[in-house]
Amino acid sequence: MADEIKKEEVMEEPKEDYLYEDEDDDDDFEIQEIKFINDFTWALILALGVCYHACLDKKREDFRKTISRSFKYPLNLHGGHETIYKEIDSCQDIFLDEIRLGPNIARNKALKENIFMMIICIELRIPLFLVGKPGSSKSLAKTIVAEAMQGDSSSSKFFKELKQV
């Protein structure tokens, strides 16, 4: 019975988009439209991000453009390839926001991607070969992830729920 309800929820098209107020610098309020992405679509985007997007380097935008054309109902992808990038990037930000970085550590794209991939692969027990140019934050990311993923000893509530390294 529960499986039938979940299938119906996934197959059901969103009834309408919703609006929210966003405060500008001028203290004026602007109504912006938010497009709904269901959990199934979101999970698929992140899976594609881990499996393919991370290893493409210079062809990432082409990949996102190509794959976004395959998202059809019930996989509602409003915004196309830009939405794929935004969702992957925002998930990486969530992981990085939960980590305390030292004052001399730059929060750059390479570090963010390396930390994201390491945490996902550790949690899912997927082997990961991290390859990159010298200075692309590989060793730093490994050290940061090892310090953050301390299970119940972790300083972050988020990382207390994840495996201990």
pLDDT in tens, 63-75: 999 999 988 888 8
pLDDT in tens, 3-18: 444 444 444 444 444 3
What is the arithmetic mean of pLDDT over 101-125?
Answer: 91
Place of tokens 């070969």: 129
pLDDT in tens, 73-94: 888 788 888 889 999 999 999 9
Alpha helices in the chain (DSSP H): 2-11, 39-48, 54-56, 60-68, 81-97, 109-124, 138-148, 157-160
Q: If you count them, how many residues does the chain have? A: 165
Helix, strand, or coil here: 120? helix
The per-residue pLDDT for 19 is 37
Burial of 66 (0-12, 13-18, 19+ CB in 10 A): exposed
Distance CA 146, CA 99 (A): 11
The per-residue pLDDT for 136 is 87
Place of tokens 């082409």: 62
Select from 55, 162, 165 the least CA-distant residue to 98.
162
